[in-house]
Structure 1
Amino acid sequence: MDARPGFHQSLSVLQKELQDMGESVKDLILKSVESLAKFDENAARQVIKNDDLIDDYLTTIDELCLRLIALQQPMASDLRIIGTAMKIATDLERIADHAVDIAKTTIRLAGEELVKPLEVIPQMADIAIEMLHESLVSYTERDVHRAAALAEKDDRVDKLYSSVMQELMGMMGSDYNRNRQLTHLLFVAHFLERVADHTTNIGEGVIYMVTGKRKDLNV
């Protein structure tokens, strides 16, 4: 028999909120990159609008965590679970902020023609979204190995970032408008690199939650 049914029920609610927040954030990143690829200003504005939903999730999760701590007298291992949830929610909120940054870039460049087709940036986005999915599964399944595997994917994102940075900087010349667009695309690549970093933070949190030991996945 469950000695603490109220605690575990509240923990299930917390986990569901975190999963829903993660799915919403994944959708924001995907749609922000799609809006850029298509220069779809309306889609970009929708991404910016939907960021409010992510902020609401963060508030709800923080309140759930604080209520669990205040009312359920969690043990040390429980506190790691709750603390990790709070940290994951914060990283998710920051990932959503980067989706907004990308959407704002779409709006700034709306009406222009891309100086080159987007190739590496969508690849970075695909890996970052896959990492986000894996990190959330590792949390719900308490899967340390899955969390640790994020390090290799983060390395791939870093290499793509270096590649696109060299390529775009190499395309700069004396044309102001061209340089302006290339600079904005560089920022987009940087935002996606940061998304991957926040995702490894989630993986690190999962490892600490399960094992009680710290492991740096972003080296």
Structure 2
Amino acid sequence: MVGREQFHAELEKMKTMVIDLAEGAKEQLSRSVEALYNGDLEATNNILEDDKVLDQKEMDINEAVILLIAREQPVASDLRRLIIALKISTDLERMADHAKNIAKSIQHLGENHGINIHEKLSDMKEIAIRMIDLSIKSYKHEDMTIARKLAELDDQLDKLYGEVTKELLEETATNPQSIQHIMQMAYCARYIERFGDHATNIGENVLYLIKGKSIDLNA
């Protein structure tokens, strides 16, 4: 009984590690979009450095999961919990990478680029933040109802992304001398949209954890 209680305590520790990684990825997105609007090149250096910390946290989760599987040889729902922790941590690390890519775009834009950052990128960021909050809440509580809410938010994010892309393409026609800067904004919009996609993946993984079968939230 003691061994079983210890194993479940370690599963809870694993969940805490995943949630901590999620908070880091969310913070990275917020900081990168803020730096984009402020043209803050100093902040981008900090974002790039902090990404290495999040990469290490993902590796720590992976190593802990592998050790638990090797030592405990779990089956059924316990094994699913460990596998889902691996999959979610991978999505979170990729989300952080998208925030890092926004920081790199800011560096490409440089100082005094002379363009206004599209206001809808901030709206996209807010939706993406809501999505990661919901996805991690659904994971923490293993709540299907919360996970299913991600589909509507993902649709909203995709719609905004389409609008931003269209408007930026139109701007390249009227302002061709700034095409490189405008394209960096388009890349940033894509990174935020992909951030939301990974949050949706987390929701689908939660549904798999609970139901034991794959469910497409975008179906």
Question: What is aligned with 1:75?
Answer: 75
> Equivalents in 2 of 1:112, 1:166: separation in Å?
25
Matched residue, 1:130: 130
Between the aligned residues of both structures, percent identity stands at: 38
3-state DSSP of counterpart to 1:215: coil
What letter matches 2:139 in structure 1?
Y
Verify the 8 A CA contact 1:208 1:215 in the aligned structure 2: yes
Structure 1: how far apart are the matches of 2:29 and 2:177?
Answer: 26
Structure 2's unaligned 5+ residue stretches are none
Partner of 1:61: 61
Counterpart residue number, 2:112? 112
**Deviation (angstroms), 1:164:** 0.4
* 1:135 Cα deviation from its structure 2 partner: 0.4
Tell me whether 1-10 or 123-132 shows the greater mean CA deviation.
Answer: 1-10
Shift of the alpha carbon at 1:112?
Answer: 2.5
Contact 2:113 2:181 in 1 (8 A): no
1:28 aligns with 2:28: yes
For residues 127 and 44 of structure 2, the distance between their equivalents in structure 1, rounded to whole angstroms, comes to: 21
Aligned residues: 219
Query: How far did 1:60 drift?
Result: 0.6
Secondary structure, aligned partner of 2:173: coil
Secondary structure in structure 2 of the residue aligned to 1:172? helix
For 1:174 and 1:119, the matched residues in 2 are separated by: 19
Task: Give the alignment's TM-score, normalised by structure 2.
Answer: 0.96
Q: Residues of 1 paired with 2:207 and 2:55: CA distance?
A: 26
CA RMSD of superposed structures (Å): 1.4
Quick check: 1:48–1:100 contact (8 Å CA) kept in 2?
A: yes
Q: Which amino acid aligns with 1:183?
A: M
**Which residue does 1:19 correspond to in 2?**
19
Say whether 1:199 aligns with 2:205.
no
Matched, 1:215 2:215: yes
Structure 1, 72-81 or 44-53: larger mean CA deviation: 72-81
How far apart are 1:13 and its partner, in Å?
Answer: 1.1
Q: 2:207 touches 2:213 (CA, 8 Å); kept in 1? A: yes
- What letter corresponds to residue 216 of structure 2 in structure 1? D
Shift of 1:67: 1.3
**Secondary structure of the structure 1 residue equivalent to 2:172:** coil
Pick which of 19-28 and 104-113 moved more: 104-113
Q: Is the 8 A contact 1:58 1:90 kept in 2?
A: yes
Structure-to-structure mapping, 1:151-170, within 5 angstroms: 151-170=151-170
Paired amino acid for 1:15: K
Give the 3 Å change call, closer, same or farther, for CA 125–53 of structure 1 in structure 2: same
> How big is the shift at 1:2?
6.7
Question: Retained in 2: the 8 A contact 1:40–1:110?
Answer: no
Give the distance between the partners of 2:192 and 2:93, measured in 1 at CA.
Answer: 14
Which structure 1 segments of 5+ residues have no match? none
Shift of 1:175: 4.8
Task: Deviation per CA, 1:153-184: give whole Å up to 9, x if none.
Answer: 00000000000011110111375541111111
Deviation at 1:114, TM superposition (A): 4.6
